[in-house]
Amino acid sequence: MPELLSAPAFVLWGAPTSWLEVIAASLALAMVGCNMREIHWGWPLAIVSSLLYGFVFFEARIYGDASLQIFFAVVAFWGWFQWLRGHRGDGGPLRVARLSPNGLALALLACAIAWPAVALFLRRFTDTDVPWWDGFATGLSLVGQFLLGRKFIENWWVWLAVNLVSIGLFIHKGLWLTVGLYAVFAVLSVAGYLAWRRRLAPSAA
């Protein structure tokens, strides 16, 4: 990574904030704004922001989130394709929808499995000091990314949980700009849900 990007842009509460973190945060904020409006250009923004945040989190020893960013960059190509060409199982266009009761149960089960699975992996194979918090954010983000790609409105509640936990995680790591960003993300998760709810078909609202 070029030294210019790794250099401190400013200091927040005694912790340096790199230009890399500033750029990654700005792109991530623009990405969420696009997602709220169902603008497909949010996906390429997600790719670039995720790759940059991968470096930020790796340097902070948040390895689960660092690895997750690489996953996000790859999955963002899938999500971009889904929003451009995807269809529902019945062949209809990919529009905002709610999960069926079975789909909701599967999503909750996936969250319940992903959290401890990722946390135990991080505790066993890395030197992270926050395996369970990192594992929660990482595991649930996997589920949230899938739900977002398929335009299920419940993705916003998953992101709200991820964002709230991540705020505490980033406070612990001194990533103050990202703390502020994820606080904004938490608010936007609720705003995104409300915006998508207005796009639901009357029968699904």
Report residue 86: phi and psi, to 5°: -70, 155
Q: What pLDDT does residue 41 have?
A: 94
* Tens-digit pLDDT profile for residues 154-196: 999 999 999 999 999 889 878 787 888 899 999 999 999 999 9
Over residues 73-93, the pLDDT tens digits come to 988 999 999 999 888 877 788
Q: What share of the chain is helix, strand, coil (3-state, %, to 5)?
A: 70, 5, 20
Looking at residue 23, its pLDDT comes to: 86
**Chain-centre distance of CA 177, in angstroms?**
16
Domain spans in the chain, listed from the N-terminal domain onward: 17-86+106-197
Placement of tokens 């030294």 in the chain: 3
Average pLDDT, integer, range 121-146: 88
Separation between Cα atoms, residue 114 and residue 140, nearest integer Å: 7
- Mean pLDDT score of the chain: 86
- The residue-averaged pLDDT of 114-123 equals 91
Q: For residue 101, give Cα distances in angstroms to 79, 108, 138, 154.
A: 23, 11, 24, 12
**Contacts for 181-186 with beta carbons within 8 Å, 24 or more apart?**
181/25, 181/28, 181/29, 184/29, 185/28, 185/32, 185/159, 186/160
Q: What is the pLDDT of residue 8?
A: 53
Strands (E), 8-62: 8-12, 15-18
Of residues 49 and 66, more confidence is placed in 49
List Cα–Cα distances, 31 to 28, 38, 103, in angstroms. 5, 10, 26
Q: Find the range with the poorest average confidence among 10-19, 143-152, 167-176, 187-196.
A: 10-19
Please indicate whether residue 2 or residue 97 has the higher confidence score (pLDDT). Answer: 97
